[in-house]
Amino acid sequence: MNNIKLDLTNLLDEIIAGGKYSNLQLNYYFSTKGYNKKEKSFITNIIHTTLKNLIFIDYLIEKNASNIKKRKIKQLLRISVAQFLLNKESDYSGIVFEAVETAKIINKHQTGFVNVILRNIFQKYDQLVSEIPPTKKYSVELSYPQWIINKIASDYPENYVRILQSYKTKSYLSFRINPRKFSREDFIKLAGKHESKILFEIENVFYMSNSALLDTKEFKENCFSVQDASSYLAVKALDVQDDDIVLDACSAPGGKMSAILQEYNPDLVVASDIHEHKIGMLKEIKKKNNFTNLKIVLNDAREIGELNEKFDKILLDVPCSGLGVLRKKPEKIYTLENSDIKKLKKIQKAIFDSAYHSLKENGVIIYSTCTFTREENTNNIKYFTEKYPDLVIENVIFPDNVFISKDEFGGSFIDYRNKYLDGFYIAKFRKKGKNDI
Per-residue model confidence as pLDDT tens digits over 395-413: 999 999 999 999 999 999 9
Considering only the C-alpha atoms of the chain, give the largest distance between any 2 of them, rounded to a whole number of Å. Answer: 79
- Sorting pLDDT into bands at 50, 70 and 90, what band is 2? very low
pTM, 2 dp:
0.94
Q: Going from the N-terminus, what domains does the chain have, and what CATH number goes with each?
A: 2-143 (1.10.940.10), 238-436 (3.40.50.150)
C-alpha closest to that of 120 among 67, 83, 77, 68: 77
Arithmetic mean of pLDDT, 42-49: 96
> Which neighbouring-strand residues pair with 296?
271
Options 60, 234, 370, 427, the catalytic residue: 370
Distance CA 81, CA 73 (A): 12
Q: How far is CA 340 from the centre of its chain?
A: 17
Taking the alpha carbons at both ends of the chain, their separation in whole angstroms is 69
283 is in an annotated binding site: no
In the structure, what pLDDT confidence band is assigned to residue 1 with cuts at 50, 70 and 90?
Answer: very low
Strand partners, 294: 269
256 has binding-site annotation? yes
pLDDT tops 90 at residue 52: yes
| pLDDT of amino acid 437 | 58
- Mean pLDDT calculated for residue range 143-171: 97
- Is 273 annotated as ligand-binding? yes
Does the annotation place 253 within a ligand binding site?
yes
Q: Is 336 left (phi over 0), alpha (psi -120 to 50) or beta?
A: beta
Task: Report the DSSP beta bridge partners of residue 431.
Answer: 391
196 is in an annotated binding site: no
* Per-residue pLDDT at 116: 97
Q: Is-catalytic flag, 223?
A: no
DSSP per residue over 327-390, as a string?
Answer: TT-GGGGGT--HHHHHHHHHHHHHHHHHHHTTEEEEEEEEEEES---TTTTHHHHHHHHHH-TT
